[in-house]
Amino acid sequence: MYYDEKLIDEIRSRNDIVGVIGGYVSLKRAGSNYQGLCPFHSEKTPSFSVNPARQTYKCFGCGKGGNVFTFLMEYENITFPEAVENLAGRVGITLPKYNMTEEARRAANRREQMFELYKKAATYYYRMFYSEKGRFAKEYIEKRGLSPETMKNFGIGYSDGSLYKYLKEEGYQDEFLAKSGLFTYDERRGVNDKFFNRVMFPIFDRNGKVIAFGGRVMGDALPKYLNSPETDIFDKGRNLYGLHLARKTRQPYMLLCEGYMDTIALHQAGFDNAVASLGTSLTGMQAKLLSRYTKDVVITYDSDGAGQTAANRAIPILAEAGIRAKVLNMSPYKDPDEFIKALGREAYEERIRNASTSFVFEVKVIEQRHDLNDPQDKTAFQTEVAERILGFSEDIERTNYIDAFCRDYGFDRKEFRSLVNKLGAQNEFRAAVREVTPVIENRSEVKAAGPDSAVRKSQRIILTRCIDDPELTETIRGYLGPEDFEEGTYRTVAELVFAQFEKDGKIDPSAIISRFDEKDEQTLVAEICETGAAIREGSSEDRRKELADSVIRLAKDSLERKQSDAVARGAAGEILEFARKKKELESIRKKLMK
């Protein structure tokens, strides 16, 4: 552990998991728990559950789970120490710096050193932009219509190809520079700046730290834009260009652009709420990031075919993040930069006010693929739109969109609603078939997997029963100890469960999860702690039988492992003793079934 366990527990207990996750995900109460759409995978029906009593979360769709630390690590893509620092700051706890181990300090320092390296690189590019070497780059940007103030606000720079030499003089070693993504290494040509002779656009995280660069050529060379690769501090699918400025806007919506220049042009025109995805189509994590700042987005992608296709793909991604989307029509201009230069800010504001709702835009895109004068194509068009309407979860929404569509296109409302209902019934049937198929496959897998799978399931049942009913731990430990569990995560969890019960007479699953630093481990421990949802099904007699079977199975497996070890050592007395204990196992069943 990087910090004292008592301190970790205090930070965890003062950060209510519902409050923390509720800042990222829209949660609704469902019985004693809270539910919402999972932030880690795409879904339309909520399968993400937060348990305030246990202070844990679990997605029954993708399997992600853990406590408040795990959530922050997974969502923000940060380390355990960073999650601790984040949550400590949230509740005003000052962390002692001396508690970090040398290994932890090195891990934390690697990211800080990379941040510092990118800050130095950005400063160097900025200086070059305003030097004689960067004169042509500055003239190029000025011709694009950017003001001196805008250039400074976005930290625009120029790469003259000398960054490597500069950083070496600053004392950086090749091993570290090779991980920065700023250079190319070639046996014949040696080391070269990746962004040679390009205008440089620093990419900032939402807190204003430089994490990457985009470089643009000043001529017709390809590629036109060159972006930083992913590093320890940069994940392009989790960041948005311009968000460090846009997050401060007072506008109730965000403008989503395709590129750097569009974002910069909009900011210069007074639209301080513009952001752009980073050289990729919009990702689910970028949409989730946006949802922290707004629930309304106007998509301002290029008006060409590629831009409209990208806008159509972005709409459901934004919807899954709880964001209402509209699409701005920039015709006859290609992008926001061209539009504003031609018609100005007020005309652009007018287009924003008249932006199409996502549904209207999607219907227009679908219409472009069909000839409505052809009966077969007309039917296909109606079917596609009906499928889209089925994407709305609320009946009232479906009714409103059915009415609007039939009104705009002159279709018979009753016939079209019948089509929507028919397709909905077919989809429900297919979903039911898909739901059953994995169950059959999983049963085959369990059967093929053999005893190991049964033992692992027994361990989960036992541990979860102890967590659900701590008093049961007293009974269980009369027959099993932590040493009877598999080495690794299961045994560690067992040790923590028994130790907590011994000390406090109760068991806190969230505290157990906190004893593991890696996300994968925390997810596995969360699965162990949450298995009870399925276990609690059935009659009390069935549950007692299931527990008895699990204890006997695990005790038998442990004795067999010990017996094998005794055979290998030639310990005859131990071999006989273990054989005797195996015969007595069935007597346990009667005691556990009471």
CB 147 within 8 A of CB 268: yes
Q: Which residues contact 571 (CB under 8 A, 6 or more apart)?
A: none
Q: What is the pLDDT of residue 102?
A: 63
Enter the tokens of residue 425.
């019934």
pLDDT digits (tens, 9 = 90+) for 284-304: 889 988 988 889 999 999 888
Mean pLDDT, rounded, for 314-327: 89
Q: In whole numbers, what is the pLDDT of the chain averaged over residues?
A: 84
Most confident of 127-136, 240-249, 407-416, 517-526: 127-136
Report which residue type is found at 269: A
Residue with the larger pLDDT of the pair 111 and 348: 348
Cα gap 240→286, rounded to integer Å: 7
Enter the tokens of residue 473.
């731990």
Q: Transcribe 129-187 into DSSP letters.
A: HTSGGGHHHHHHHHHTT--HHHHHHTT-EEE-S-HHHHHHHTT--HHHHTTTTSEEEET
CB 51 within 8 A of CB 57: yes
Task: Give the other-Cβ count within 10 Å of 205's Cβ.
Answer: 18
CB 45 within 8 A of CB 16: no
pLDDT digits (tens, 9 = 90+) for 340-381: 999 999 999 999 999 988 888 888 878 888 888 888 988 888
CB 366 within 8 A of CB 372: no
Q: What is the pLDDT of residue 459?
A: 87
Q: Transcribe 68-99 into DSSP letters.
A: HHHHHHHHHT--HHHHHHHHHHHTTPPPPGGG
Enter the tokens of residue 204.
């900032």
C-beta contacts of 421-425 below 8 A and 24+ residues apart: 423/383, 423/386, 423/387, 423/390, 424/390
Mean pLDDT, rounded, for 165-183: 92
In this prediction, residue 438 has a pLDDT band, given cuts at 50, 70 and 90, of very low
Q: Of 42, 47, 44, 45, give the one whose Cα is nearest residue 63.
A: 47
Q: What is the pLDDT of residue 274?
A: 96
Q: What is the pLDDT of residue 442?
A: 42
Least confident of 159-163, 181-185, 409-413, 578-582: 578-582
Q: What is the pTM of this model?
A: 0.59
Cα gap 315→268, rounded to integer Å: 26
pLDDT digits (tens, 9 = 90+) for 38-96: 888 877 888 999 999 888 999 888 888 889 999 988 887 677 888 888 899 888 888 87
Q: What is the pLDDT of residue 537?
A: 54
SS3 assignment, position 30: strand
pLDDT digits (tens, 9 = 90+) for 196-244: 999 999 999 988 899 999 999 987 777 888 889 988 889 888 899 999 9
User: How far does Cα 517 stand from its chain's mean position?
Assistant: 18
Task: Give the other-Cβ count within 10 Å of 397's Cβ.
Answer: 13
User: Is the confidence at residue 440, as pLDDT, over 60?
Assistant: no
Q: How far is CA 486 from CA 115, 493, 557, in A?
A: 41, 10, 10
Cα gap 6→12, rounded to integer Å: 10
Report which residue type is found at 87: L
In this prediction, residue 124 has a pLDDT band, given cuts at 50, 70 and 90, of very high
Q: What is the pLDDT of residue 579?
A: 73
Cα gap 389→421, rounded to integer Å: 10
Report which residue type is found at 164: Y
pLDDT digits (tens, 9 = 90+) for 533-588: 444 555 677 778 888 888 888 888 888 888 777 777 777 677 777 777 777 777 77
Mean pLDDT, rounded, for 105-117: 81
Q: Which residues contact 81 (CB under 8 A, 6 or more apart)?
A: 2, 3, 100, 104, 107, 108
